[in-house]
Amino acid sequence: MEYIAYAIICVFLSLNMSAQAQSSSDADLARASLYHLQKDFGNAIQCFETAFKVKSPDALNAYKAAAVYSLDSNAKMSAYYLQKAIQAGWAEASWLVADPYFEYFKQADPITWNQLITQAKEKELVYEKKLTQPTLRTKINLMVLSDQQLRYKKIQTKDKEELQDIDLAIAEADKKNLAEAKNILATYGWPKLSEIGKDGQNNLWLIVQHADHDILFQQQVLKKMKRLLKSKEVNLENYAFLTDRVLCNLNYLQEYGTQVNWTINGMANSFRPIRNEWDIDQRRKKLGMTGLDIYSLAYGFTYEKPKKVTCTRTQQEVIKKVKLLIDTASEAFYRGDFQLTYDSYNSASVFSEGMSDRENFKAAVIFATIAARDRDPKYRDISFDFLNLLYLRGKLKESSLRRTYQFETLHDDPRWIKLFYPGT
């Protein structure tokens, strides 16, 4: 019995040490991504190498390491990891050919480079045979490749006139890609992994993720992705990201902690508000995602999960702050202090889920009333902001709009028509 107990303890300790090592490896990979973004290639390489001692790299991380080595002017190690990436399943040959991160490698060792390109193309041909919509995959990948090339070009130039031209080109590309993405979704729904592969799905998701000006479309995509959750035909991490993106765009609390508060240079200082934050890692684990303490390192800050009592207290404090701001706004409105009304409601609206749908509607009514008396356009604008939020949430009833006489002052505004006919 003592031997069995000892064996069980040894197995437990072994598993625990293995889990700790994996966690450490994930942390190093997260740090490597941040260093890469900050162009600190030396530290990025060190983090990659430390992580790979614990676990051999998958195709994506091997590709990232190869790119960093090329950026660090080391063609030999770049070739080493690019070979590993291809062997592990990297099959985006067109992306590799055009990837500007490998410019040094191409020039320093063109023979090895061409050999690896040939291998990548052969791997891609084999990979495409497993897909049911390979042509669609290629189309999507080339759309995003063109987009990323423009964005890389923008980073490299300091000429103001050239920057303006690039910005115009990016805007035009985004518009074209979004229109094409809508056509794809209308034709195929959300394309399955077995149809366009993981890379095809990732690239299509990237277009959708950046369409923050079209939240209705993001919501439609999310519904189509949700239908595939049980089929294992959708990238679960992409689903989590888009879920949180939509929730934050609607001023709701996020579910998976993928959205951060940005600072500078690809860094952040915290996560945007999270629902039931004490239980966040369980939700992430179900989708195969690392804990927030690891994920935060990719953005340059450390994170410690709060306890339930802390989260509850924080939410109660938010409720109190918002109530005080709304009360202040109401009193200011009746006194005719419209600026204070505006400032107070504007501050209240910043808190995720701080204001109820009814409070948002009341704010819209108040500012429509003010807009009829004061010609400052900001009062009309903020009234529409509250109405548009409710519309996007699906909480705005046409009957309520039409019978609220205070909104008559908004009837001549094109934004009023769009509340009823969003396509106009």
- 3-class SS at 255? coil
Contact 271, 305 (CB under 8 A): no
Rounded to 5 degrees, φ, ψ at 261 are: -95, 110
CA separation, residue 290 to residues 268, 298, 398, 424 (Å): 18, 12, 43, 43
The span from the CA of 159 to the CA of 371, in Å, is 43
pLDDT tens-digit series, residues 159-183: 888 888 888 988 888 899 999 999 9
Query: Tokens representing 196?
Result: 């366009």
Contact 213, 221 (CB under 8 A): no
> What's the pTM?
0.89
The span from the CA of 250 to the CA of 240, in Å, is 16
The span from the CA of 153 to the CA of 414, in Å, is 37
The letter for the amino acid at 394 is: G
User: Residue 109 CA to chain centroid, in angstroms?
Assistant: 36
Instruction: Mention every residue, 6+ apart, whose C-beta is less than 8 A from residue 309.
Output: none
What is the model's pLDDT at position 8?
37
Q: Using alpha carbons only, how large is the chain's radius of gyration in Å?
A: 26
What is the model's pLDDT at position 157?
80
pLDDT tens-digit series, residues 23-76: 788 999 999 999 998 899 999 999 999 999 999 999 999 999 999 999 999 999
For 84, counting Cβ atoms within 10 Å of its Cβ (0-12 exposed, 13-18 middle, 19+ buried), the class is buried
For the chain, which ranges sit under pLDDT 70?
1-22, 422-424
The span from the CA of 382 to the CA of 347, in Å, is 12
